[in-house]
Amino acid sequence: MSVNAIHQLPRGFLWGCTTAAHQVEGGNTNDWWRWEQTPGHIFQNQKAGRACEWWSGRFEEDFDRAASMHNNAQRISVEWSRIEPEPGKWDDYSLEKYRTMLKAMHQRGMTPMVTLHHFTNPLWLADDDGWEWDGTPERFTRFVRKVVETLGDLCSLWCTINEPMVYTTQSYIFGDWPPGVKKRNVAYKVLVNLLRGHTQAYHAIKEMQPHAQVGFANHNLNLRPTGNSPLHRPAMNVVDSFINNAFLLALRTGIVHLPGAGNVTIPHAQNALDWVGLQYYQEYEVGFDLRYPTSLFINQHKPHDMPVGPKKWGGLNPAAIYDQIAKLTKLIDKPIYVTEAGVPDPDDTIRPGYLIETIRAVWKAANFNFPVKGFFFWTLIDNFEWAEGFDPRFNFGLYKVNFDTQERIPRRSANLYGEICAANGLSSQMVATYAPSLLSSMFPGEAGAKEVKLKTNGNRVQNASSSPEKR
Ligand code: BGC
């Protein structure tokens, strides 16, 4: 009989999954919808189309799935283009539908976290230059006020903007996402307006709902210098301070630093944050490289391919989520929710081990007293993965979705996540079942006990040392 040791998370820890409106709802008409109409933008020219049919009601059955995994929270986003189809005109049907969704969460014992902007914009806003226009923060705040007025009795945990730096770079530096701009100076304008939008929304929510907890979701890359040369670390710091830290630090200091373009002060941004969301997926090496003059001689590359899965994804290092939590705490001492972590893995080959290593690192952070309050896995069900469309290589779901029939099939990781959430922790038994190769490094005592048992059984001797008190 062996000890079933358990890495216990604190009482009240939130466990859930994250989804985003455009990726699951179906039938949206926003700037992504328009982007999808142009061939070449999305994998195989696919369109989000019906997506996961949440808008026509399938959110109910998927919330049942989340509840069956013992999730006590759920993060969704609301779609601005539905709620405000024309400037200043509100769609009561859509607002009522989101009320129904939030009630459905409460009925299943799940605390809602609602994201107010997850990459998509109404067409009318996009036509007015979107986040490039200085009037957009004000319009965003008007929308946020309406949402809080309507949903505020059902939600007090708000996430203003999802991954502002990812949105800025994908849409305005790389041009891979709408509106497909590739201009650094425009990107800087957008970044400043996103900061203004967050700041104004933050203060508006707190005024309407003083007990609300308002944060945003920061995408963090785990960066390492390419090698020991003293030139590599400064190169890495340039990327780190912009991509990982710029938005966050602006909320600490009230000033955003724009590389090569000076500083901009954002009125009232300082301390406009109750918590920070950590979204961690990938690891990259960064270094100085004379072959890249156009990117300030900085080369960013992945240190290794994933053992399986798409080539178009960075290196995996799930345990480094601990370092990310520690780093965030140092940068801005606020409660942290892991608002996304996940892996593209259609056959669920590496996801169980990835999840186990991630949760162990989150446990370590929580038990070293870093203020981590919850974990939201990306994602509940396979969905529309932006420019990757429905490419199966980019299936992130705990549940596999057949997009022809809308059938959902649980992957093994769904069972594992259910066990983790039910136990509010990670046990050696779970590791032994779902990722046995990790057992000896994570629970060396248990693995050792098994070895002794095997050896002594071979000698026909009963092993007394492997019967500690069972928990
Ligand atoms: C985004 C999600 C996206 C996921 C996987 C995150 O950065 O918030 O919308 O699907 O990554 O790529």
* Per-residue pLDDT tens digits for 263-281: 999 999 999 999 999 999 9
What's the whole-number mean pLDDT along residues 348-373?
98
| Dihedral angle computed from the Cα positions of residues 133, 203, 275 and 314, in that order, rounded to the nearest 10 degrees | 0
Q: Does domain 10-443 have CATH number 3.20.20.80?
A: yes
Q: What's the whole-number mean pLDDT along residues 328-351?
A: 98
User: Ligand 1, closest atom to CA 163?
Assistant: 8
Pocket test for ligand 1, best of 340, 343, 377 (most atoms within 8 A of CB): 340
Retrieve residue 402's tokens.
């057949």
Q: What is the pLDDT of residue 446?
A: 74
Residue 462's pLDDT is: 33
pTM of the predicted model, to two decimals?
Answer: 0.94
Binding-site residues, ligand 1, Cβ < 6 A: 20, 162-163, 166, 219, 279, 340, 378, 385, 396
CA 461 / ligand 1 centre spacing (Å):
54
Question: How many other C-beta atoms lie within 10 A of the C-beta of residue 369?
Answer: 8
Protein residue with least CA distance to atom 5, ligand 1:
385
For the chain, domain boundaries? 10-443
Phi first, then psi, for residue 180 (nearest 5°) are 75, 35
Q: Are the C-beta atoms of residues 431 and 438 closer than 8 Å to each other? A: yes
Residues 412-422 have pLDDT tens digits of 999 999 999 99
In testing the pocket of ligand 1, which one of 219, 378, 385, 388 has its CB within 8 Å of the most ligand atoms?
A: 378
What is the whole-number distance in angstroms between the Cα of residue 276 and the centre of ligand 1? 17
Note whether 149 and 155 are within 8 A (CB).
Answer: no
Cβ atoms of residues 314 and 283 within 8 Å:
yes
The one-letter amino acid at 86: E
Q: Per-residue pLDDT tens for 188-199?
A: 999 999 999 999
Question: How far is CA 78 from each of CA 55, 81, 96, rounded to the nearest angstrom?
Answer: 11, 9, 12
**Which atom of ligand 1 is nearest the CA belonging to 378?**
4
Q: Which residues pair with 284 in a beta bridge?
A: 223
CB 32, CB 22: distance < 8 Å: yes
| Residue spans of alpha helices (H) in 178-279 | 184-208, 232-239, 246-253
DSSP string, 368-412: TT--EEEEEES-SB----GGGTT-GGG---SEEEETTTTEEEE-H
Ligand 1 atom with the smallest distance to the CA of 342 is 5
Distance 219 CA to ligand 1 centre (A): 9
* Mutation probe of ligand 1 site: the residue of 18, 312, 386, 401 with most atoms within 8 A of C-beta: 386
Does 110 score more than 90 pLDDT?
Answer: yes
Q: Rounded to an integer, what distance in angstroms lies between the CA atom of residue 201 and that of residue 9?
A: 32
Mean local confidence (pLDDT), 99-119: 99
Q: What is the pLDDT of residues 423-450, one digit of tens each?
A: 999 999 999 999 999 999 999 987 666 6
C-alpha distances (whole Å) from 164 to each of 1, 59, 192, 203, 437 are 50, 26, 10, 18, 37
